[in-house]
Amino acid sequence: MTDTIRSHGAPARGPSAAAAVTTGSANALMRLTDPPMRAVQRLIGALRMPYVFLLPNLVFFGLFVFLPIGINIVFSVTGGTALFPSERPYVGAEHYARLLDCGSYLEAASCREDLFWRGVGNTLTFTVFQMVAMVLFSLVTALVLNRPIRGRGFFRAVYFFPVLLSPVVVALIWKWILQRDGLLNAVLTTAGGEKILFFVDPGWAMFWAVFVSVWAHMGFYTLILLAGLQAIPRDVYEAAEMDGTRPWRVFHRITLPLLWPNLLVVLVLVLIRSVQVFDEVFVLTGGGPGTATMMVVQYIYTTAFANQVQNFGLAGAASVLLGAVLFVLTLIQLFLTRRRAS
């Protein structure tokens, strides 16, 4: 089924001159790179070629992801403010004990590092709401865009446009609109309402954090879902309609299952983004009111950088804990994907 939609080289269509240039340069590149790679293949054998392909990425991963994670683990069991691991005294599990020292895990205020747990709680809330809202809105939009409407390309572009904006810009735009004397309050007062101080009320602040995030990213997920919808063969629907199947049932029994792979991609990506969320929300709400929208990544960043005593140890321990949770989450997701696929 996938093959039916995969358009072989569709985007390459366009002015033929450009295509010719592309082909020309691709040929030149090929002539340049093929002989050495061919030599490598002869040397080590075709079976070991995947390692060659993997190598460059692995080097980068190793240097800038795995090594730093390792250093972070070292940070987490050492103390002080020095940056070089060799200058930091070993403190054992002290930072971990501090983070996990809670009267009750359901009550952040009972914890020694209450801010960490508030961050964890806020991130959870944000993730749940954001996933529901994101999937709902991008699905509805994709369904609407999948209808025979005029100007579909234009509307598709409209929803996609904010995806290209930087998180900081997105937050600035909305902060500008939502502040006490912003556009929205101007509209509210003109309509006879009262000004609402959105950033003083924890509920509103979280609402807008989720809203702005959905606003900025739903265009991308809409396109993924739209692609899935368009891949569903029409005759399946026609057959269902012939049988007089009720529309909700068709949606439930045909559309959703056939769309599931795309939905899953959306779910994975949204989850990843939600857990990582930081600058967008921070610029918008500053983590407030109080600590109502302070995310766990903000806690880690503050502990390591914004405080006068840059506590890389505590921040490292928190990020190791977060990393472990994320890793487990990913594995569960992977497992679910596998099961669906088989």
Partner 1 sequence: MKRTAWVAGCALALSVLGSAGIPALAQAQTTLRIMWYSDGNEGEVMNDLLRRFEDKNKDVKIVLDQVPFKAINETLPVQLASGQGPDLARITDMGGLAPYLMDVRAHVKDAAYWEQNYGPFLQWMRVPGNTTAIPGYMTQLTVTGPFVNKTLFEQAGVAMPGANATWEDWGKAAKAVADKVQAPFPVAFDRSGHRFFGLAVSQGAQMAEVGGELKPVDDGFKRAAKLVVDWHKSGVMSKELWGAVSGTAYRGANEEFKNAQVVFYESGSWQTAQFDKTIGDAFDWIAVPTPCGPANCSSMPGGAALVALKTSSHPAEVGRLLDYLASEEVASEFYARTLFVPGHIGLAKKGIAYKSASPQAAAALKVFGDAVGKLDPVAYRIQGDPSSRIVFNAAISRLGQVVVGETTLDDAYQRIASDVAQQIAERKKKQ
Partner 2 sequence: MTGKLRTGKLSRLLLARRGGASWHWTDVASYAYLALGVLLMFGPVAWLALSSFKTPAALLEFPPSLLPMAQSEVSVQGYPQPLPLFRVTMEDGSVRELAQVRRVGIVAQMVDPKEPGQTIRVPADRRTPVRHMALAVENYTDPLTQFDFLRFLRNSLVVTVVATIITLVINSMAAYALSIYEFRGKSLAMLGVIGTLMIPITIILAPVYLVVTKLGFVDSLWAVILPGAATPTGVFLLRQYMLTIPRDLIEAARMDKASEWRIYARIVMPLSMPALAVLAIFSVMWRWNEFLWPLAVLTKTEVHTLPIALNAFQGELQTQWHYLLAMTVVTLLPVALVFAFLQRFITSGIANTGMK
Residue with smaller CB distance to partner 2, 103 or 193:
193
Residue 307 interface partner, choices partner 1, partner 2, none, CB cut-off 5-8 Å depending on type: partner 1
Q: Which is nearer to partner 1, 130 or 291 (CB)?
A: 291
Pick between residue 85 and residue 233 the one whose CB is nearest to partner 1: 85
Q: For partner 2, which is the closer residue by CB, 93 or 334? A: 334
Decide: 250 and 102 in contact? Cβ < 8 Å.
Answer: no
Largest CA distance in the chain: 79
Q: Among partner 1, partner 2, none, what does residue 138 contact (CB within 5–8 Å per kind)?
A: none
| Shortest CB 233 distance to partner 2, Å | 10
Instruction: Give least dist CB 107 to partner 2, A.
Output: 25
Q: Pick one of partner 1, partner 2, none as the site partner of residue 153 (Cβ within 5 to 8 A by kind).
A: partner 2
Q: How far is the CB of 93 from partner 2 (least distance, A)?
A: 19
- Please give the angle made by the CA atoms of 62, 65 and 71, to the nearest 5 degrees: 95
Given the complex with partner 2, which of 110 and 166 has the nearer CB atom? 166
Reduce the secondary structure of the chain to three states and give it as a string. Answer: CHHHHCCCCHHHCCCHHHHHHHHHHHHHHHHHHHHHHHHHHHHHCHHHHHHHHHHHHHHHHHHHHHHHHHHHHHHHCECCCCCCHHHCCECCCHHHHHHHCECCCCCHHHECCHHHHHHHHHHHHHHHHHHHHHHHHHHHHHHHHCCCCCCHHHHHHHHHHHHHCCHHHHHHHHHHHHCCCCHHHHHHHHCCCCCCCCCCCHHHHHHHHHHHHHHHHHHHHHHHHHHHHHHCCHHHHHHHHHCCCCHHHHHHHHHHHHHHHHHHHHHHHHHHHHHHCCHHHHHHHCCCCCCCCCCHHHHHHHHHHHCCCCCHHHHHHHHHHHHHHHHHHHHHHHHHHHHHHC
Provide the minimum distance between the beta carbon of 311 and partner 1 in the complex, in angstroms, as a whole number.
Answer: 5
State the binding partner of 292 from partner 1, partner 2, none, CB within 5 to 8 A by kind: partner 1
Q: Choose among partner 1, partner 2, none what residue 196 binds, the Cβ cut-off being 5 to 8 Å by kind.
A: none
* Residue 49 touches which of partner 2, partner 1, none (Cβ within 5-8 Å per kind): partner 2
As measured in angstroms, the least distance from the Cβ of 181 to partner 1 is 7
Closest CB to partner 2 among residues 112, 253:
253
> Measured from the CB of residue 133, what is the shortest distance to partner 2 in angstroms?
14
In the bound state with partner 1, the residue whose beta carbon lies nearer, of 24 and 62, is 24
Instruction: Say which entry of partner 2, partner 1, none residue 115 contacts (CB below 5 to 8 A, set by partner kind).
Output: partner 1
Paired residues of 102 in beta bridges: 111
Binding residues (CB under 8 A) for partner 1: these are 18, 21-22, 24-26, 79-84, 87-89, 91, 109, 114-115, 180-181, 197, 199-200, 202, 285-294, 298, 302, 305-311, 313-314
